[in-house]
Amino acid sequence: MTLPAPTSRRSVLKSIALLTGSLAAAPVVAACGGGGGDRASAKTLTVMNWDPPTGTPWNDAFEKFTAKTGIQIKIQYTPTMTNYWAKTRALLGSGDPPDLMRVDDDNIPNYGATGQLTDLATYLKRDKLDRSAYFPAVYDMGRQADGTVPAWSVGIQPRVIFYNRTMFEKAGVELPPTTWTSDGWTWDDFLDRARRLTKQGQWGAAIVQDTGYEVLHPVNNGGDGPFSADGKRFTLAGPEGLDAVQRVADLTCAAHVQPDWASLKQDQRSNQMFVAGQLAMVEATSTFTSYASQNVKNFDWDIAPIPAMKQQMTYGSQLTWCIPKRAANPDGAWELLRFLSEGEGAENFARTNYFVPGARKAAALLKPGDKPPAHVSLFVDAADKSVLPGKIKGAEGAKNIYRPVLDDVYNCKTKAADALPPLRTKVEQAMRGSS
């Protein structure tokens, strides 16, 4: 899940032109989707993104792409504080969409079902991309049940445990493992350490930050995440899902090692508590690395695997993009995607530890630097251990039904087993796109 579920926001669109930016990729051939255009005549790409056009590795990669290909990139910057989803739908239905659009990975089935996206399976076949050269969860992110590929992921931001190493050492608590192993690192081991590190003004752990755990922990508990793989059942209300939800809630409600939900819902609160030395462990995506590197001043920190339940997987936010059928330069857009996921652009992201590129060769460039984390290779392991959620066209509507009820579970007002099963029929109707 790349973004939180949309709330009511007003639509804003700012177009910011970038005159430089680009790098290497496969040569462009005749157009394979609507819109037409070739390298000789199409020297501009319009790219819609919610990340700022300056001050991030995206800008550096775009500049390298332009330098390599001569294709200028014009950024349509639409912050997520606006209704990015409504803007996406509106532009897909227009006669002049961007050439390349960043999309929330949760919404790919919905967008794909509109018939307004280029099926990238044509490009994958044409370029003979080898699935084994990519992390499976990344390569398969956009592929739908009918075999179409309406979107492509250039990389993944996997979830790991960030921990305050100095706090562990001062308390005499054994450190988490440095490799992806369950040896000494089960959920019970994690909970034991969290208890021993909780005291007045200091919390042992924080798990509930975003909605990714709804997939991650139920899957590790032997379930399917919120929805069954066939898209028919609300499996979060099944035994494995209910148990996993309650385990996370009980970090606050029973074990008292996690801050209360009202505090965690405050924007960036768990991040702020970690860098202030008030939180021993926090589950977060790899993007937290940048924030921690800039803001931690008085302690050493590192990363560890997700603790194991019945299995030890993780779940990552993915950097997914689509090419509208009406794009003016679809071939140039695909060239840029190749560049970002496996070319010099991918190397740019790997060398800055911004995210794990989809191609294994580029991901191998992630290396520890002068600052923590020392075990950066765990991000690559996490990319290989990442799972994919069920691809449900009605996921957004279904989540809008059950997520408000989860607040009562997190706030210790009710148990998951009492709150979620009564929603089963309504949620499953929403999953099918009915009410």
CA–CA distance, 44 with 99 (Å, rounded to integer): 9
Query: Would you state the torsion angle of the CA atoms of residues 266, 270, 275, 278, taken in this order, to the nearest 10 degrees?
Result: 110
Q: Say whether pLDDT at 284 is over 70.
A: yes
The packing angle between helices 395-410 and 424-431, to 10°, is 150
Which pair of structure tokens corresponds to residue 46?
A: 């319009």
CA atoms within 13 A on the CB side of 213: 23
Q: Say whether pLDDT at 31 is over 70.
A: no
CB atoms near residue 314 (< 10 Å): 28
Q: Quote the percentage of the chain above a pLDDT of 70.
A: 89
Contacts of 387 (CB under 8 A, 6+ apart): 137, 215, 216, 219, 225, 313, 314, 315
Q: Say whether pLDDT at 33 is over 80.
A: no
The verdict on pTM exceeding 0.95 is: no
User: What are the E-state strand segments in 86-207?
Assistant: 100-103, 152-164
Q: What is the mean pLDDT of residues 34-61?
A: 74
User: Of the given ranges (37-46, 140-149, 265-274, 379-388), which has the lowest mean pLDDT?
Assistant: 37-46
Q: What is the mean pLDDT of residues 163-179?
A: 98
From the list 190, 158, 159, the residue with the least C-alpha distance to 175 is 190
pLDDT score, position 82: 61
Q: Say whether pLDDT at 29 is over 70.
A: no
Q: What is the mean pLDDT of residues 146-160?
A: 95
More reliable by pLDDT, 182 or 111: 182
Summary mean pLDDT of the chain: 87
pLDDT digits (tens, 9 = 90+) for 71-86: 999 999 988 656 787 8
SS3 318: strand
CA–CA distance, 308 with 361 (Å, rounded to integer): 28
Maximum Cα–Cα distance across the chain: 66
pLDDT band with cut points at 50, 70 and 90 for residue 364: very high
User: Of the given ranges (37-46, 96-105, 123-132, 241-250), which has the lowest mean pLDDT?
Assistant: 37-46
How far, in whole angstroms, is CA 184 from its chain's centroid?
Answer: 27
Cβ proximity of 32 and 334 under 8 Å: yes
Q: What is the mean pLDDT of residues 207-218?
A: 85
pLDDT score, position 13: 31
